[in-house]
């Protein structure tokens, strides 16, 4: 004879909480189905607010039973719930007025599963996934509208990028390459992915808001990853798209505007005292850059058609070339560092700041752990920013078109002068 299941008071409260979360997940999905009209009318589906609530509870009870070593009873409940959903879908398809949309039934199966997750104690995962399900159900028109705007080029580019990131990248070795530098084959391919990602972001931004504003938006987003990579990529593209040289230069300025904000965020987490000391050096360029970008955005017109491009939005071949060029630059800087050594903090800041401001900022944050060194560390960060700005200016001069050089030069000089304000103040 099966012994009665006795749950202690504390476990009972925990079980009640899990069932409550499971029920709320189902209730939220059911409310959305009621609100969207899928639970009423001649072509109504089988489940509304109450049914979804019960399905969520069904999954939750199954999870609680499984947690109490009664997984057999829980499995019976789940199988019954799945059978109910499948039978409802079959009956709905026999209705001549019903469409062949199984979204409600699919959502019901997911709610069962999320209820089970909540029942076994995965409350955060179940709640987050439940919120995502409700969002997807409610954003039907927008999602279909987005899909309608996606063309063959975007689909192919997304598929290729997925293969590059999920298939090729994991199989590449992580050992350093034997012919110079401290970068591995996987690290080099990561650079290719970053360059390709910047290209793809620029392509999508141009499609969304037009080329004049699209490059600025892409540069702004790329600045959160690496403003140096954005500079290299946009400088090269300016030779192929001379008509958009100004927009490409604006994208670089936007990326450089993000840099001081990103550095302040790093310092604020790792070394608040250094971050406070660096404010006079990093706030002015962020403000100046924001003003330049804002004024340029107001003067340019959104929309418009981007020039047709027969190549892939990823520009993989060009991305490979840029990654190799960047790698060669890293090798050159490493040689300089070996020659100069690390005898001086500011000398190291100049060299490291050329290409890796994040690494320099972390190093200065560690150096500034002592209160007496906070000012020195902040000055090192400022010197690194100036070095990085000069390096980007050199990239623009070497790789960019004449119009791009002129626009970029004025913008970067303004940002560099803003950093210098910190020494005056």
Summarize pLDDT for 242-295 with one digit per residue, the tens. 888 888 999 999 999 999 998 998 888 888 899 899 999 999 999 999 999 999
Locate all alpha helices (DSSP H) within 36-171, ordered by sequence. 49-67, 71-93, 103-119, 123-138, 140-149, 152-163, 169-171
Q: DSSP string covering 297-361, please?
A: HHHSPP--PPPP--S-TT-HHHHHHHHHHHHHHHHHHHHHHHHHTTS-HHHHHHHHHTT-HHHHH
Backbone angles phi, psi at 95, to 5 degrees: -75, 120
State the sign of the Cα–Cα–Cα–Cα dihedral 169, 173, 175, 180.
Answer: negative
Tokens of 418: 């803003």
Which of 62-83 are b and which e, b meaning 16 or more Cβ less than 10 Å from the residue's Cβ?
Answer: bbbbbbbeeeeebeebbeebee
**pLDDT the model gives residue 413:** 94
**pLDDT the model gives residue 216:** 84
Contact criterion met (CB below 8 Å) for 248 and 281? no
Q: Cβ atoms within 10 A of the Cβ of 262, count?
A: 19
Residue 260, H or E segment: helix 245-270
Spatial distance between the Cα atoms of 365 and 351, rounded to a whole number of angstroms = 17
Tokens of 156: 């192919």
Question: Is 396 in a helix, a strand, or coil?
Answer: helix
Instruction: Enumerate residues 6+ apart whose C-beta is below 8 A from 353.
Output: 360, 383, 384, 385, 386, 387, 388, 391
Does the predicted TM-score (pTM) go above 0.75?
Answer: no
**pLDDT the model gives residue 87:** 86
- Per-residue pLDDT tens over the stretch 334-384: 666 566 554 567 777 888 788 778 778 877 887 777 777 888 888 989 999
State the sign of the Cα–Cα–Cα–Cα dihedral 252, 253, 258, 259.
Answer: positive
Nearest Cα to 53, choosing from 23, 17, 90?
23
Residues of the chain with pLDDT under 70: 1-10, 37-47, 95-101, 145-150, 179-182, 206, 208-212, 301-312, 329-330, 332-344, 425
**pLDDT the model gives residue 256:** 93
Question: Is 151 in a helix, a strand, or coil?
Answer: coil
The residue extents of the domains of the chain are 9-146, 151-424
Spatial distance between the Cα atoms of 118 and 28, rounded to a whole number of angstroms = 15
Residue matched to tokens 């300016």: 238
Spatial distance between the Cα atoms of 226 and 388, rounded to a whole number of angstroms = 11
Contact criterion met (CB below 8 Å) for 281 and 378? yes
**Cα-to-chain-centroid distance, residue 288:** 26
Backbone angles phi, psi at 176, to 5 degrees: -60, 145
**pLDDT the model gives residue 146:** 65
**pLDDT the model gives residue 266:** 86
Instruction: Enumerate residues 6+ apart whose C-beta is below 8 A from 172.
Output: 184, 185, 186, 189
Give Rg (Cα) of the chain. 28
Q: DSSP string covering 219-251, please?
A: HHHHTTT-HHHHHHHHHHHHHH-GGGHHHHHHH
Tokens of 240: 């192929």
Contact criterion met (CB below 8 Å) for 285 and 415? yes
Spatial distance between the Cα atoms of 370 and 368, rounded to a whole number of angstroms = 5
Q: Cβ atoms within 10 A of the Cβ of 144, count?
A: 9
Spatial distance between the Cα atoms of 231 and 320, rounded to a whole number of angstroms = 16
Residue matched to tokens 């005056």: 424
Longest dimension (CA), the chain: 89
**pLDDT the model gives residue 409:** 92
């Amino acid at each position: 004879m099966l012994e009665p299941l006795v749950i202690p008071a504390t476990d009972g409260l925990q079980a009640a909480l899990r069932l409550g979360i499971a029920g709320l997940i189902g209730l939220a999905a059911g409310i959305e189905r009621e609100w969207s009209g899928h639970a009423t009318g001649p072509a109504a589906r089988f489940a509304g607010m109450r049914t979804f609530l019960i399905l969520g509870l069904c999954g939750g009870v199954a999870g609680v039973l499984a947690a109490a070593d009664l997984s057999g009873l829980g499995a019976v409940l789940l199988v019954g719930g799945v059978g109910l959903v499948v039978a409802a879908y079959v009956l709905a398809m026999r209705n001549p007025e019903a469409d062949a949309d199984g979204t409600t039934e699919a959502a019901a199966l997911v709610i069962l599963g999320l209820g089970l997750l909540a029942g076994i104690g995965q409350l955060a995962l179940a709640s987050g996934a439940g919120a995502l399900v409700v969002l997807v159900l409610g954003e039907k028109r927008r999602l279909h509208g987005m899909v309608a705007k996606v063309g063959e080029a975007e689909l192919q580019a997304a598929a290729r990028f997925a293969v590059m990131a999920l298939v090729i990248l994991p199989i590449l070795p992580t050992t350093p390459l034997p012919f110079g530098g401290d970068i591995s084959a996987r690290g080099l391919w990561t650079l290719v992915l970053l360059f390709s990602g910047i290209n793809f972001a620029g392509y999508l931004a141009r499609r969304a808001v037009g080329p004049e504003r699209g490059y600025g938006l892409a540069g702004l987003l790329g600045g959160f990853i690496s403003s140096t990579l954005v500079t290299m990529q946009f400088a090269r593209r300016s030779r192929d798209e001379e008509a958009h040289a100004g927009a490409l230069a604006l994208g670089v300025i936007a990326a450089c505007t993000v840099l001081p904000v990103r550095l302040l965020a790093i310092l604020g987490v790792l070394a608040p005292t250094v971050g406070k000391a660096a404010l006079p050096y990093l706030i002015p360029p962020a403000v100046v850059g924001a003003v330049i970008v804002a004024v340029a955005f107001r003067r340019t017109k959104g929309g418009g058609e981007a020039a047709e491009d027969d190549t892939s939005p990823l520009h993989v071949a060009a991305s490979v070339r840029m990654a190799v060029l960047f790698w060669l630059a890293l090798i050159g800087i490493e040689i300089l560092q070996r020659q100069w050594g690390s005898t001086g903090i500011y000398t190291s800041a100049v060299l490291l700041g050329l290409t890796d401001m994040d690494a320099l900022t972390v190093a200065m944050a560690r150096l500034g752990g002592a209160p007496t060194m906070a000012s020195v560390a902040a000055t090192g960060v400022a010197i690194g920013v100036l070095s990085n700005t000069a390096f980007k200016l050199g990239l623009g001069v070497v790789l960019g078109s004449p119009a791009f050089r002129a626009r970029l030069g004025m913008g970067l000089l303004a940002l560099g002068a803003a950093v210098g304000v910190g020494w005056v103040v």
